[in-house]
Amino acid sequence: MILEAFIKGTMHIENLRIFSDLVDSESFSRAAKLNGITQSAVSQQLRAMEKHFNVLIVDRSQKQFRLTREGDKLYDSAKEILHMYEKLNSELQEMKKVISGTIQLSTIYSIGLHELPPYIKKFMQKFPSVNVRVEYRRANLVYEDVLHNSVDLGLVAYPVKMRQLETIPFSEDELVVIASPNNSLAEHTTVDVRQIDGQKIIGFEQDIPTRKATDNIFKDAQLDIDPSMEFDNIETVKRAVEIDAGVAIVPSATVQQEVSQGLLRQIRIRGDSQMRPLAIIHRKGRVLTPAMKKFISLLTNGA
């Protein structure tokens, strides 16, 4: 039914993509934003589809977004056609050896600001025809972006396993203690976690994966630590430590500039290294363009 309409030209890829984005996000406003159109235009597209097929697609009697049985069938067919189209487009690009287009990335702040820049620079030098767009987000929103197809790829730490997601490890970073040069810990190059007891602790907010990792470090050392300050991003944590408001445990890569400038001291944690795994995530079944494949290869293999 939907394939017949597509072949006859009464429905286009753009119509199917807008409909698919609407169902995936369950939001008219988000579907509009994803496709660069107004919310009213999304509603008009939906009504046009309902008129064309003479069926009700969305059950408007429900408070929550819900498809009718016919809507479910149309959605499944739309996804199948979109997948075929994207696969064909990707294969044609590969045949022509074309590396171009746009890659939409959603990344947590620490990766985006401190791990990603050298990769982006190298990638742009190798593939100047590819436009890489980066959004800096909290971890939960990166997953949301990927699941809702708002972006092509996500970059996260401590990746969470989900059946809808493909996870590709690409690096890891060591967690270290940071302190102001004026702090009593600053004279140490290594420290036992128990030596932190008695210090004021600057922590991440509880829903941030690195906070959960640091809580586990304290728990393993049998320390009952209650941070005196909590922040949602690495930059604010570093600023608080710089003024000696406390010490913190953070990824080493995020503090190299401040350490080299003498603003912070980096102190390794004695014993087994505390490593923070980093990963690329994308929705399972998503067709990866040649540009996306090259970008993933650069992150995972350096080439």
Q: Looking at residue 125, what is its pLDDT?
A: 94
Both 154 and 284 in one domain: the answer is: yes
Dist CA 57 CA 52 (whole Å): 11
Question: What residue type is assigned to position 73 of the chain?
Answer: K
pLDDT in tens, 97-149: 778 888 999 999 999 999 999 999 999 999 999 999 999 999 999 999 999 88
Both 111 and 72 in one domain: the answer is: no
Q: Looking at residue 150, what is its pLDDT?
A: 84
Both 63 and 188 in one domain: the answer is: no
Both 119 and 146 in one domain: the answer is: yes
Across the range 71-94, mean pLDDT stands at: 82
> By percentage, how much of the chain surpasses pLDDT 90?
54
Q: Is the pLDDT of residue 62 over 80?
A: no
Q: Looking at residue 127, what is its pLDDT?
A: 92
pTM of the full structure = 0.76
Q: Kindly report the average pLDDT of the chain as a whole number.
A: 89
Dist CA 145 CA 149 (whole Å): 6
Q: Looking at residue 203, what is its pLDDT?
A: 93
Q: Is the pLDDT of residue 303 over 70?
A: no
Both 120 and 134 in one domain: the answer is: yes
Which of 155, 114, 117, 98 lies closest to 282 in space, CA to CA?
Answer: 155
pLDDT band at 1 (very low <50, low <70, confident <90, very high): low
Q: Is the pLDDT of residue 4 over 70?
A: no
Q: Looking at residue 8, what is its pLDDT?
A: 55
Q: Is the pLDDT of residue 5 over 80?
A: no
Both 234 and 247 in one domain: the answer is: yes
For the chain, the distance separating the N- and C-terminal CA atoms, rounded to the nearest angstrom, is: 44
Q: Is the pLDDT of residue 262 over 70?
A: yes
Structure tokens at 147: 């699941």
Both 82 and 12 in one domain: the answer is: yes
On whether the CB atoms of residues 154 and 107 are closer than 8 A, the answer is: yes
Both 68 and 30 in one domain: the answer is: yes
CB atoms within 10 A of CB 194: 12
Both 262 and 178 in one domain: the answer is: yes
Token pair 């300050």: residue: 229
What is the bridge-based pairing of β-strands 190-191 and 165-179?
Answer: unpaired
Q: Looking at residue 258, what is its pLDDT?
A: 96
Dist CA 60 CA 194 (whole Å): 58
Both 126 and 139 in one domain: the answer is: yes
Quick one: 133 exposed, middle or buried, by C-beta within 10 A (0-12, 13-18, 19+)? exposed
H or E element that contains 40: helix 39-53
On whether the CB atoms of residues 244 and 175 are closer than 8 A, the answer is: no
Count of the separate structural domains present in the chain: 3
CATH code of the domain in which 70 resides: 1.10.10.10
Range of the domain at 258: 173-276
Residue after which a domain boundary falls, among 95, 127, 147: 95
Structure tokens at 270: 């004695």
pLDDT in tens, 201-232: 999 998 899 999 999 999 988 888 888 999 98
Q: Is the pLDDT of residue 249 over 60?
A: yes
Q: Looking at residue 89, what is its pLDDT?
A: 77
Which of 215, 123, 234, 228 lies closest to 173 in space, CA to CA?
Answer: 234
Both 185 and 208 in one domain: the answer is: yes
Please report, to the nearest 10 degrees, the dihedral formed by the alpha carbons of residues 146, 152, 157, 163 taken in order.
Answer: 50
Both 110 and 158 in one domain: the answer is: yes
On whether the CB atoms of residues 153 and 278 are closer than 8 A, the answer is: no
Quick one: 245 exposed, middle or buried, by C-beta within 10 A (0-12, 13-18, 19+)? middle
Residue after which a domain boundary falls, among 60, 75, 95: 95
Angle of helix 39-53 relative to helix 69-95, nearest 10 degrees, comes to: 110
CATH code of the domain in which 194 resides: 3.40.190.290
Question: What residue type is assigned to position 17 of the chain?
Answer: R
